Amino acid sequence: MGLLSKKDLKLITDPLADDNPITIQVLGICSALAITAELKASIVMSVAVLFVLGVGNVVISLMRNIIPSKIRIIVQLIVVATLVIIVDLVLKAFAYELSKTLSVFVGLIITNCIIMGRFEAFALANGPWKSFLDGIGNSLGYAVILIIVGFFRELLGSGTLLGIKVLGDPIEKTGVYAFGYENNGFMLLAPMALITVGIIIWVQRSRNTSLIEDN
Amino acid sequence: MEHLELFFKAIFIDNMVFATFLGMCSYLAVSKKVSTAVGLGAAVIFVMAITVPLNWLLDKYILQEGALSWLGEEYAVYDLSFLSFIMFIATIATMVQLVEIIVEKFSPALYNSLGIFLPLIAVNCAILGGSLFMQSREIQTLGLAFNYGVSSGIGWFLAILAIAAIREKIRYSNVPAPLRGLGITFIITGLMAIGFMSFGGMLTGGDEEVVKEETASIETSVKVNEPTLEEETIKVIDSVSVDELEIKEEE
């Protein structure tokens, strides 16, 4: 990677695991849980956040010296809201069904804490290129968790991945269903998203014991 | 009746935290002590009670398709609903700042107890979520919008109060080390959400219109049921006696 120095690369790779926005920084949980019943919705949501956070971080970073600190929250919200409107209109134009499933959660990217959190913590203090990398890194970290949760919830809940029946047909009893396997509809309900994320946190902190909190 | 239904539905069935996961960030971050949780919860109720009706007015008279018709016939063709995100969030951010200034001026004691939490609220997804759900569920009157704001706020308040109380106690338990803190909080919230799902039976759940239809049909069917039951039993008795008669005749 000639383009990226070691320090820049760290900005992208850190949020993927040891500084993950969801499991370590506790940011952006709302949307991570609400839309992960299907893998496709998780992926689209990740792409939307990638766009908003990448572009938003650059914009805020460029304006960081002219924003009065007293009204910075309103300015940040307006920037995010504009970007989110773009995402919403693009989704409505090219993926109408999907934008129906995501419903208000596209709008809620505005208040997604990852975005405000990274603006406050990073973009207001760093240059545009670094802020862009930080935005990409954090939204990839967010995407990793979303895709893991979406993968397990869709696979165990409805036996499909991206709408393809990977486990066989539950009605005609083919594939694993022939051996008496049943879909666990409970995985599609809200509470299991929380428990899935809890388990991901458990696994991650068991592997890296330095992340353990002392109560 | 409509108000009561919306009130209980927003608190228990569509609970902001347990059913739609809104405001999770501050819910997880500020729930370590009961006293701070109460402060933030009260602030959320307060701000939602103001912003939801305000955004309802904005939606009704500016943003909806044909909402500008009060300006004159030629404005009736505009549909500004794509601007609703930016309008709603601007309203919320300004209201939060305004509330902060007013509270600081008139009630320093309340300001000191809420102080740090008020600015946080502008980015609490529960607040914006409340306004967006208000819009997508097509709440009809200003009174209902106010009701929805207050009751969703109360639902959020209950949730954060409950988890803060549990977290204060769980400090004395022997939780597996990697689960300590965040992990166990997630799992407890999941279990609480399962508990809250049982409230779903109070009303039939799903979309607003479907609920109304179904509750209406249940009410009517309850009223109609008693006589029909009697009629059916009578019919059954009749048919039995007829059968018996037939059997007797055959004999």
The residue that leads in pLDDT, B146 or B70, is: B146
pTM of the model: 0.76
Task: Tell me how close the Cα of B226 comes to any Cα of chain A, in angstroms.
Answer: 36
- pLDDT for residue A86 is more than 70: yes
Q: Kindly list the residues from chain B whose CB atom is less than 8 angstroms away from the CB atom of residue A23.
A: 182
The answer to whether A191 contacts B82, with C-beta atoms less than 8 Å apart, is no
List b or e across B159-169, with b for residues whose CB sees 16 or more CB atoms inside 10 angstroms.
Answer: bbbbbbebbee
Rounded average pLDDT over B232-238: 46
Task: Give B215's pLDDT tier (boundaries 50, 70, 90).
Answer: very low
Q: Kindly list the residues from chain A whose CB atom is less than 8 angstroms away from the CB atom of residue B122.
A: 73, 77
Quick one: closest CA in A to B134, which residue? Answer: A104
- What value does the mean pLDDT of chain B take? 75
| pLDDT for residue B4 | 83
Closest of A139, A103, A140 to residue A119, by C-alpha:
A139
The answer to whether A213 contacts B181, with C-beta atoms less than 8 Å apart, is yes
Rounded average pLDDT over A184-200: 82
Spatial CB neighbours of B140, under 8 Å, sequence gap ≥ 6: none
The residue that leads in pLDDT, A103 or A108, is: A108
Instruction: Read off the amino acid at residue A56.
Output: G
Distance, CA of B55 to CA of B38 (rounded, Å): 25
The answer to whether A215 contacts B181, with C-beta atoms less than 8 Å apart, is yes
The answer to whether B89 contacts A202, with C-beta atoms less than 8 Å apart, is no
The residue that leads in pLDDT, B55 or B246, is: B55
Does residue A213 form part of some domain?
no
Task: Tell me how close the Cα of A6 comes to any Cα of chain B, in angstroms.
Answer: 30
Distances (CA, A) of A114 to A8, A69, B15, B102, B224: 20, 20, 23, 29, 54
Rounded average pLDDT over A51-78: 83
Distances (CA, A) of B74 to B25, B52, B70, B78, B196: 45, 29, 10, 9, 49
- Residue numbers of A between 149 and 188 with CB closer than 8 Å to B: none
- pLDDT for residue B231 is more than 80: no
Which two structure tokens, joined as six digits, stand for B97? Answer: 């700042």
The answer to whether B28 contacts A29, with C-beta atoms less than 8 Å apart, is yes
| pLDDT for residue B154 | 92
Does residue A104 form part of some domain?
yes
How many residues are present in chain A? 215
**pLDDT tens across B8-17, in order?**
888 888 888 8
**pLDDT tens across A22-49, in order?**
777 777 777 777 777 778 888 888 888 8
Rounded average pLDDT over A59-64: 86
Rounded average pLDDT over A186-214: 80
Show the DSSP H helices in B68-124 as ranges.
Answer: 84-106, 108-114, 117-121
Q: Kindly list the residues from chain B whose CB atom is less than 8 angstroms away from the CB atom of residue A145.
A: none
Structural domain containing residue A181: 29-208
Please report the beta strands in chain A, taking only residues with DSSP state E, as ranges in sequence order: none
ipTM exceeds 0.85: no
Quick one: closest CA in B to A24, which residue? Answer: B182
Positive or negative torsion for Cα A53, A78, B129, B107: positive
Task: Tell me how close the Cα of B2 comes to any Cα of chain A, in angstroms.
Answer: 24
Highest mean pLDDT among A1-5, A12-16, A123-127, A163-167: A123-127
The answer to whether A201 contacts B186, with C-beta atoms less than 8 Å apart, is yes
Does residue A88 form part of some domain?
yes
Rounded average pLDDT over B205-226: 43
| pLDDT for residue A24 | 76
The residue that leads in pLDDT, A47 or B178, is: A47
How many residues are present in chain B? 251
Q: Where do the structural domains in chain B lie, given as residue ranges?
A: 2-203, 205-251
Distance, CA of A117 to CA of A121 (rounded, Å): 6
Q: How many structural domains does chain A have?
A: 1
- pLDDT for residue B81 is more than 80: no
- Name the 3-class secondary structure at B79: coil
**pLDDT tens across B100-114, in order?**
788 778 877 777 766
Rounded average pLDDT over B3-22: 83
The answer to whether B25 contacts A26, with C-beta atoms less than 8 Å apart, is yes
Rounded average pLDDT over A69-81: 80
User: Where is average pLDDT lowest: A173-182, B24-33, B210-219?
Assistant: B210-219
